[in-house]
Structure 1
């Protein structure tokens, strides 16, 4: 059973305001009475969860994972940045709410000491979570740790604390939370912040703080701290039964409350349902569609099942039919099992029982259409579902997200998905530990983590290393970059990783969002086509060829040109205008150094 008391809700905020009425309503709840009622105190805590629990991200656009559609590329990715379109406004609403809650708990008498401590621990975790989000974006921010007196206006205008001061306070909150939180929660409390979540987040934070974004001088002390924190997290989580999920990779999102789940947002119908309309293909959804379409770097990132890399020679693909045929086989057959669990490829199964009935596969492959204005005198359009009389829409790459898709959805129910969002998986904690191990010279530990991750994925052992060939620190560092790209695809972590590594060049080098079109060779073959067959059938693959598409956007002004001189976001002008004590970041013409 899913936890149904942690939901997104703003109703409780009404209790924090008051109004004047012409009669006395004895059934109302006054703000003062909240703190003498356990139920209402828990409701306040639930409201904090509801406002702050991370949701399923739709974040491939702007990275080398995917795109939402042609010419849908943001200003940051294109290098068109300024304070107006990148400025951060630092919303302190949740911080204010948490500070108020902590202040009220000081005088609460209806809770036992144990109950009060666990409440304080959860609140301090969420304060640390919120502050790190701000610091992650801009560097140091004003630290507000107590309820402010709004009648004392001058006291409201405070300066930015340094980044190091903020990190010290965040770690203090986390350590105090870790000291009082329970090891685990069970039953209806499952999903609340426990000791393992706080330890895992502390490890994530210290990894990010030790990474080049915050640590360009590569201070080894930071890496030592990050290594220790993540090792403590891994060791503790193992003692409470956590580990890599031992079932199919795709079932991490379908086998609820499995041992890999560390921090989770539980979705359920009807109170806390998940909207998945956007990530579905256009003919299989409604209102909006085609987000998170995979592009070439992600399609190529997954190795073969034997661990070896999949390599594409674009020239031979175009000019050598035998090579094209073999590459198509290598692309579809015997890949890393995570590929099939993460990415839908044209001509394979897609969960849409209301449209794709009778075993029919989703055939959004391409055919040529004469167009004298187009390059080479023709353009590509996707195949038509002739037997349905339904076009396949305007997708760009034709490869869609499968990870976490609620398989029971139909077009009328695309707003009703119930797939839990796992914000922190054991795999992430393990890989955070392994990456830190590499940076502190413990290469054997770092490699073992990579082997464990690939073994769980279903990659073959081979010569003993599951296809991992790295041996030195630089090679292992790259192996972690590659493996995180694969393991956490569509989990909203790619942009974070690219930024913390200061590797915008990974995007700028690929330049355009490219793809592979599966093009039918002879349209006559459509007349008697068996729509229940798929690309895993060799006889079906022979009807198609792959054609490389250099720019899926169709307009080469849409290319990655990230600015290598701006790594932290600016403070928004509204904040600067409202508070003269706030300094702008140095990268943006100010005096504040986010690295101090």
Structure 2
């Protein structure tokens, strides 16, 4: 009886309390009225859409840029592909956010959000809708176009068929054109730095139209597409210049002098709320938790030109000639363009981060990651532990590591505090996109002029003919020159795979076969100490270069891209979930043609 009375009394008290508080505003929850009636909240909603901004990629293993561990070459690269293991699942999460944002924004009053700010927000949102749609279209071709909030009570209306690829591209361009009209070239308030500008929208439009004109989407080589792409890319270059953008005079400092004039689209990293971590590309033991990713392959090491712009000469059959080998090493280490030293860390030089493993490795000494040949065992042995006695950890498998972008101000223990910005789009790419389109239209002088600018910034000498080592003279040669220059300029910037795919040039990888390496090997009877530096001629003379045919150590691991499948399949689960409204691509047994 007592328990019952207490229970009744408690209910009565709670009831009275609830009645008293029914009319107050609960600021502890977010309701639509609190968002769309508040300019700060509206901007916060938009900022959340920016969450799809790309960050630093560490995916050199997807092409011939780098290797992480032996036998790590992916199935796609090896030609082992099925609808199940490479199928692309469509995600409309960000599209839904943008559509909801735009629909609600239409009804926001000027008293809440000034008209100029409303237009800017609309432009930013449309940019991200275009960006997201292109991310899907570039992989599989046309996808369902949805531009407004969906009625989830209309079940049948949720199943939308794929639009043609051409229709999707037209809508993407329409959104970008709208963004271009609505966005500023530069934000007056520096706190808005990093938000999408008119320059960024124009640059991305050019990138997309260039890809749409490339062989992947344009196997018939329709010149009209190249003209459209050229017009967009040239407009982006001209407008970017008018807004103060240009090539940074120092290639390495693009990533170390923030907010420089080359940056067009950027993901800003800062500690503690949005920091990065580069531990994965550091060598052991100068790292923590992850290591040895993106160790440069021989193909990348040789791609960088010499100081006069001439290509690095490499003939593996002549490495046994001591004179040839010595000259090769001299050119390899001391006669490269600036981008080589900004992109690649070479064992035998001081590591640029403040880490020490005292007394094994002292800052300022060289980090020696080199090899010795064990004749008895008929194998190469990494001798990091010989030069640095007691050095712990896995030395990796190439002796070279990624240098580009590495935050050199933090130790491995503070790796999660790295703050190097990721530059998704820089002026160099806008220039090269324009130059590539110019070449496809026969505008040879314009195309070569861009290559000269890129190479001049790389520290390459103009030479007697003022051509910076570029010998290409006709359209096919210039086309090849652009692909080679992009490999160097954008190494480890998530461009190589996309370039090879859009140009349908995976044969360049297949022709390499296995992933090759270059072992810098200490000659028999020679020794070096941590204070030595391989950039010194007398020290370098103690070494020889050796070609390693297969870094994976297994003939089953080699580039063997399937050259008959260029578009990815739609994930079978997506098709079944759509009640078969979504069609599979033709090259995967379906009826949808991604080229239409």
Q: Pick the TM interval, shorter chain.
A: over 0.9
Partner residue in 2 for 1:6: none
Is 1:541 matched with 2:540? yes
Equivalent residue, structure 1, for 2:457: 456
Matched residue SS, 1:304: coil
Aligned residues: 566
Say which of 229, 232, 238 aligns to 2:235.
232
Alignment-derived partner of residue 14 in structure 2: none
Bigger drift between 352-361 and 405-414 goes to 352-361
Residues in 1 aligned to 2:302 and 2:324: alpha-carbon distance in whole angstroms: 16
Q: Is the 8 A contact 2:384 2:391 kept in 1?
A: no
User: What secondary structure does 1:235 align onto?
Assistant: helix
Report the counterpart of residue 115 of structure 1 in structure 2.
117
Task: Tell me the distance in 2 between the aligned counterparts of 1:378 and 1:182.
Answer: 60
Query: How many Å separate the matches in 1 of 2:228 and 2:530?
Result: 56
1-side partners of 2:564 and 2:339: how far apart? 35
What is residue 340 of structure 1 aligned with on the other side? Answer: 341
Aligned-partner Cα distance in 2 for 1:402–1:382: 22
Secondary structure (helix, strand or coil) at the match of 2:520 reads strand
Match of residue 150 from structure 1: 152
The answer to whether structure 1 residue 586 and structure 2 residue 586 are counterparts is: yes
Are the aligned partners of 1:213 and 1:499 in contact in 2 as well (CA < 8 Å)? yes
- In the other structure, the counterpart of 1:513 is 515
Partners of 1:414 and 1:545 in 2: CA distance: 34
Distance 1:425 1:82 in 2: 36
Query: Could you say what secondary structure the match of 1:510 adopts?
Result: coil
Deviations, residues 21-73 of structure 1 (Å, cap 9, x unaligned):
99867222332221101111111011111x21110111211201111211001
Q: Which residue of 2 aligns with 1:489?
A: 491
Task: In structure 2, list runs of 5 or more residues that go unmatched.
Answer: 1-17
C-alpha change, 1:555 and 1:382, in structure 2 (3 Å) is farther
Cα deviation, residue 387, structure 1: 4.4
- Encode CA deviations 1:98-126: one digit per residue, 9 max, x unaligned: 10000110111111111110000000000
* Structure-1 separation of matches of 2:468 and 2:145: 46
Residue 11 of structure 1 is matched in structure 2 by none
Runs of 4+ in 1 over 4 A off after TM superposition: 21-25, 385-388
1:3 corresponds in structure 2 to none
Corresponding position of 1:215: 218
The corresponding residue for 2:403 is 402
Shift of 1:357: 2.8
SS in 2 for 1:77: coil
Contact 2:387–2:530, Cα closer than 8 Å, also in 1 = no
CA contact (8 A) 1:382 1:392 kept: no
**Alignment partner, residue 595 of structure 1:** 595
Matched, 1:195 2:198: yes
Structure 1 residue 359: Cα displacement: 1.4
TM-align CA RMSD: 1.5
Instruction: Check conservation: 1:363, 1:385, Cα contact below 8 A.
Output: no
State the shift of 1:371 in Å: 6.0
Counterparts of 1:253 and 1:116, CA distance in 2: 33
> Displacement of 1:556 after TM fit?
1.2
Kindly indicate whether the alpha-carbon contact (under 8 Å) linking 1:267 and 1:273 is maintained by their aligned counterparts in 2. yes
Structure 1 residue 282 displacement after superposition: 2.1
Mapped to 2, the partners of 1:123 and 1:395 lie a distance apart of 44
TM-score of the two chains, using structure 2 as the length reference? 0.93
Q: Which has the larger radius of gyration?
A: 2
Write out per-residue CA displacement over residues 152-172 of structure 1, whole angstroms, 9 at most, x where no aligned residue: 111000100000000000000
List alignment gaps of at least 5 residues for structure 1. Answer: 1-20
TM-score if structure 1 supplies the norm length? 0.93
* Preserved contact between residue 345 and residue 400 of structure 2 (Cα < 8 Å): yes
The answer to whether residue 444 in structure 2 is matched with residue 439 in structure 1 is no
Corresponding residue number in structure 2 for 1:556:
555
Q: Is the 8 A contact 1:338 1:487 kept in 2?
A: yes
Mark the CA change 1:385 to 1:287 in structure 2 (over 3 Å): closer, same or farther.
farther
Aligned to 1:362: 367
Q: CA deviation at 1:228?
A: 0.3
Q: Quote the residue 2:279 is aligned against.
A: 277
Q: Check the 8 A contact 1:367/1:383 in 2, yes or no.
A: no
Change (3 A) 1:385 1:423: farther
Determine whether 1:65 maps to 2:65.
Answer: yes
Residues 134-149 of structure 1 mapped to structure 2, 5 A cutoff: 134-149=136-151
In structure 2, C-alpha distance between the alignment counterparts of 1:57 and 1:436, rounded to whole Å: 27
- Give the CA deviation at 1:273: 0.3
The match for 2:84 is 84
